Amino acid sequence: MSGIIANKISLHRGRKIERVRKLRGWTQTDLATKLGISKQAVSKLEQSENIGDEKLTEIAAALGVTFEGLRDFSEEKVLYNTNNFYENCGVSASNIVANVENIQNPLKETIEMFERQLEATRRDLLEIVKQNITKK
């Protein structure tokens, strides 16, 4: 039964839009402005399980990602890519992996923790980039 729930969550396109929006650090109002719709319309989109490919393409463009990237988005892929990216940059993301693997909280709390970890990692990366720029 948990496989059914996990599969249902992974297919929920509205939640994928919400996750990508939050990873970009945008509010619903920010995305609404990019799409030329109201904040309430964005909220409704993020609650929708089924969003057509044409609309998803428009939303992906507004978010600055590919249609395929938004359609196939999953936290697992973000974690994998983030881990590989930071390892190749000399920054260890093992603390993120360890925290995610050891969490036994409900899904919502896990996602919130993951988003906080990503934000902290994003800040660390920005600091490294700034330091490299000032060295040049």
Q: What pLDDT, in 10s, does the model give residues 24-83?
A: 888 999 999 999 999 999 999 999 988 989 999 999 999 888 888 888 877 676 666 656
Range scoring the smallest mean pLDDT among 8-22, 55-69, 91-105, 119-133: 91-105
The per-residue pLDDT for 72 is 81
The per-residue pLDDT for 89 is 54
Is the CB of residue 14 less than 8 Å from the CB of residue 49? yes
Question: How many Å apart are CA 50 and CA 48, to the nearest integer?
Answer: 6
* Cα atoms found within 13 Å of the Cα of residue 98, Cβ hemisphere only: 4
